[in-house]
Amino acid sequence: MNFKNILNNPIFKILKESVAEIGLKSYIVGGYVRDLIIKNSNKKDIDIVVVGSGIELAKKVKKKLNNTNKIQIFKSYGTAMLKWNDVTMEFVGSRKESYSDSSRNPKISFGTLQEDLLRRDFTINTMAISLNEENYGNLIDPFKGVLDLKNQIIKTPLDPLKTFSDDPLRMLRAIRFCNQLNFKIEANSLKAITQNSDRISIITNERIVDELNKILECKKPSTGFIILEKTGLLKKIIPELSNLKGVDEIEGKTHKENFFHTLEVVDNISRHTDNLWLKWAALLHDIGKPLTKKFNKKVGWTFHGHESVGAKMVYQIFKRLKMPLNDKMKYVQRLVFMSSRPIILSENEVTDAAVRRLVFDSGELLEDLICLCEADITTKNPKRFLQYHENFKIIREKINIVEERDRIRNFQPPISGKKIMAYFGIEPCDKVGIIKETIKEAILEGEISNKYSDALTLMKKKGLEMGLKPNENKL
């Protein structure tokens, strides 16, 4: 197989010339080759293996490109990284590696191309394309990567126990590739993941989260999460999710199986959004259920307060996984906290007041919250399924009507605290808050409209009731 006509990016011409000039055998390897064969041309990372050190080639390429970007050099690894437009090139000296049991830091020594390819994770990532003059564009495929790509198999080139033990992150990569590409993990490799799952503990949280995010970004993330669970990895990474598994039964009463329900919700939402954080909210929306589960003889199983417990758990999980504790985390927390609100609405007759309260409480999260709640409809009862979706349509219509009329979103009180203080001649105190709250509640309940004149009348009435003295000149 030859790829000389497919290497369209002008960068390859420069690479070829540079390789010829420095006279070190060099090859494109890894994901770029894999994606080229499966005709995915979006990849912007090009990994280049140089038999020798990668640094000299990187310098030559930089010069030829008149590239003003700085080369990042990692001398002890013989590695250099160069950015050019939206392309990132990594130049690595060919090597063989072995890892110790307790560390991710390999002992590195020089190796041949074949040895370099053999130490890689999966056969589909062990192919190389020559950048050398004599066989430019030729595919080198010593471990039958093309065949495995064709058969849609994720398989390690070495004994999987060794490959996974060398770098346990590869267990997550296997599951992620399986999910992304819709491939199968070969039986021995899958078995080895289960056997090695404890070793995930030596991997940094940042790298783990990176893979989890890539699984969540797939079209059907449940595929990945089911394998994570089956292999025992999920229990090590997010045990709170594994705890959602199972159904209890007392006096013939059961509750929903929350693990598979959760995955169904994540799949549902993935059909409507690429928003990674909305997907995290879907993944964690029921996370508080195991801790709040109770059996009540009259009503059966309850999960009272699981949303607020769940919101607290979001913080703990993000913190443990060293995910950023920023507004993304707060967004996920708020969605988990509010995740039952629209559902309750959809089960009953939808009143204007309930819609106004939902709009007020969710603010700019409203669309995402409704999207999450629609994804949360996983009932297998077709009549209820239809009814809930129908109710959500009504909710959406009502939101539009109420919003147009009452402008509740990003609610600003029609009367300010300053005005209340001036009119009644009072200093800042709880009375100001009580009057403001009374006006807000009346607007949300639909007792008055969201207008200055109505709010003013109510302010006067409430102030009188509280024994305050009006001052008409201060209006």
Binding site for ligand CTP (CB under 6 A): 30-31, 45, 47, 120-121, 125, 167, 169-170, 173
Closest CB 172 distance from ligand CTP, rounded Å:
9
d(CA 239, CA 324): 20
Nearest distance from residue 370's CB to ligand CTP, in Å? Answer: 33
Query: Residue 47 or 406: which CB sits closer to ligand CTP?
Result: 47
Closer residue to ligand CTP (CB): 43 or 396: 43
Distance CA(235)–CA(246), nearest Å, equals 14
Among residues 89, 96, 80, the alpha carbon closest in space to that of 10 is found at 89
Q: Residue 82 CB, nearest distance to ligand CTP (Å)?
A: 15
Is the Cβ of residue 46 or residue 238 nearer to ligand CTP in the bound state? 46
Nearer to ligand CTP, 97 or 264 (CB): 97
Length of the chain: 475
φ, ψ at 258 (rounded to 5°) = -85, -20
Our CB check for ligand CTP shows the closer of 47 and 148 to be 47
The three-class DSSP label of residue 34 is helix
Closest approach, Cβ 45 to ligand CTP, in A, equals: 5
Query: Minimum distance between the CB of residue 439 and ligand CTP, rounded to whole angstroms?
Result: 55
Q: Which is nearer to ligand CTP, 31 or 142 (CB)?
A: 31
**Least Å from the CB of residue 121 to ligand CTP:** 4
Residue pair 38/151 in contact by the 8 Å Cβ criterion: no
What is the rounded CA–CA span in Å between residue 286 and residue 337?
10
Smallest gap from Cβ 87 to ligand CTP, in A, equals: 13
Return the residue matching tokens 């390789």.
Answer: 19
Q: Is 359 helix (H, G, I), strand (E, B) or coil?
A: helix
Q: Which is nearer to ligand CTP, 116 or 286 (CB)?
A: 116
Other C-beta atoms closer than 10 Å to the C-beta of 438 total: 19
The H or E element that residue 451 is part of is none
Nearer to ligand CTP, 128 or 358 (CB): 128
The residue with its CB nearest to ligand CTP is 31
Round to whole Å and give the CA distance between 359 and 34. 48
CB of 195 to ligand CTP, least distance (A): 18
Whichever of 90 and 376 has its CB closer to ligand CTP, that residue is 90
Q: What are phi and psi of 376, to 5 degrees?
A: -75, -10
| Coil, helix or strand at residue 140 | strand
First-residue to last-residue Cα distance in the chain:
84
Amino acid identity of residue 94, one-letter, is: S
Distances (CA, A) of 377 to 152, 273, 382, 389, 422: 33, 16, 11, 8, 50
Residues 80, 58: Cα–Cα separation, whole Å: 6
**CA dist., res. 370 & res. 45, Å (int):** 37
CB of 167 to ligand CTP, least distance (A): 5
